Structure 1
Amino acid sequence: MEDQVILVDLNDNQVGVADKMAAHRSGELHRAISIFVFDRTGQVLLQKRASTKYHSGGLWSNTCCSHPRPNEDTTNAAQRRLREEMGVNCELQEVFSFAYKTRFDNGLIENEYDHVFFGDHDGEPVLNPEEADDWKWMETKQLAADLREHPETYSFWLAACFDRVVSFRTSMRAGGLAE
């Protein structure tokens, strides 16, 4: 059975379900999750998407990105996918959400209402080779500069939300949000 995604409206209210690839071919708005894991020094864990992925293969991206299953709580989905993709188990906090839409060279369309989670973890991930080819820890200032200088090496959604990620992370570390 093909993976299904949750179709939503611009307020993230569920309006249906669809096969994942069909939703990406037609560009239907669907729920997604993006996870950013940080180490104790504030570096972010990046994954290099598997070259065999249906889009954005071989690009560097945030720690984990995926879709919740129909009838699955978004936080539970984020924790499940982080374990499945990166072999990392840590507490996650949803920090913000945003919607974006982009068309890829292969004709697929990402039209996502993306829930962004933060987590803290020290140590090496254990990659699922179907999901990621490589990983690295990177300082956020270095990543911000590299996103500006080499945007073609990163996933669209990472670039689309990274300024907000840095802003929220800075606020959280300063005590502006509960961690």
Structure 2
Amino acid sequence: MLSTTTSRNILEVVDGKNRPLGVFPESQVHFHGLHHRSVAVALYDRQGLIYLQKRTESEPPYCGRWDLPASGHVLAGEAVQEAASRELRERTGLRLAGFRLVSLVDGRRETNYEFVYVFNAGRIRKLRVLSLKKNRDGLLLDSRELSMLIQENPETVTPWLVYLWRLGLFFR
């Protein structure tokens, strides 16, 4: 297994059926449009509102757009559950266990050829202070509000958030 420092940008490439083929640098995976894996973690507050965070100006692509608070690549040698925990910890500071896998979305053009493992991290008690701790803008939205945001202002959210929303993967 690769160490975290050397494997940070090394991804496992998979075929169109999500079967492992080999490992390559992230830049090559995206340049060549190769299939690979990623995770997306949805967080909800105690009332069931979904939490979105605004991507910073230093988070390409789609800087400054609303997105799920934790998403990213599964690194080579990393289990998808570990990747979800790592992304959540790195992006929000939260250390949670017991995520529920909601769906595995096929790798296609709309997902940048990523097989996306979508997790629900459950309802979090202190979600309102999360943005303040990480110095980021945050939104809590109900299903209707999320629909309005996406339909009326699609340019303010990431394309993959729109795609996952169209698949009906939130508020289940």
Q: Distance in 2 between matches of 1:54 and 1:27?
A: 17
Contact 1:10 1:113 in 2 (8 A): no
Q: Take 1:24 and 1:48, find their aligned partners in 2: how far apart are those partners?
A: 23
After TM superposition, the structure 1 stretch with the greater mean CA deviation from structure 2, 91-100 or 28-37, is 91-100
* Secondary structure of residue in 1 paired with 2:169: helix
Cα distance in 1 for partners of 2:59, 2:69 equals 15
Counterpart for residue 121 of structure 2? 119
Distance in 2 (CA, whole Å) between partners of 1:49 and 1:55 is 9
Task: Encode CA deviations 1:31-80: one digit per residue, 9 max, x unaligned.
Answer: 01011011121111111112112311111111211011111110111011
Report if the CA contact (8 A) 1:48-1:135 is conserved: yes
TM (norm. structure 2) is 0.83
Which residue is 2:50 aligned to? Answer: 44
Q: How does 1:107-146 map to 2 (within 5 A)?
A: 110-120=112-122, 121-123=124-126, 124-125=129-130, 126-127=133-134, 133-146=136-149
SS in 1 for 2:74: coil
Of the three residues 66, 70, 95, the one matched with 1:64 is 70
Q: 5+ residue gaps in structure 1?
A: 103-108, 171-179
Distance in 2 (alpha carbons) for counterparts of 1:5 and 1:57? 22
1:95: which partner in 2?
102
Deviation at 1:92, TM superposition (A): 1.0
Q: Give identity over the alignment, percent.
A: 24
TM-score, structure 1 as length reference:
0.80
> 2:162 matched to 1:156?
no
Q: Kindly provide the amino acid, as one letter, of the partner of residue 53 in structure 2.
A: Q
Alignment equivalent of 2:81, drawn from 58, 68, 75? 75
Paired positions, count? 158
Structure 1: distance between partners of 2:155 and 2:88: 24
Given residue 10 of structure 1, which amino acid in structure 2 is its aligned partner? G
Q: Secondary structure of the equivalent of 1:52? A: coil
Deviations 1:149-178 (A, max 9, x none): 111111111100114213xx33xxxxxxxx
Structure 1: distance between partners of 2:61 and 2:45: 28
Which ranges in structure 2 are unaligned for 5 or more consecutive residues? 1-5
Range with greater deviation from structure 2 (50-59 or 28-37): 50-59
2:60 & 2:12 partners in 1: Cα distance? 18
Distance 1:139 1:19, change over 3 A: same
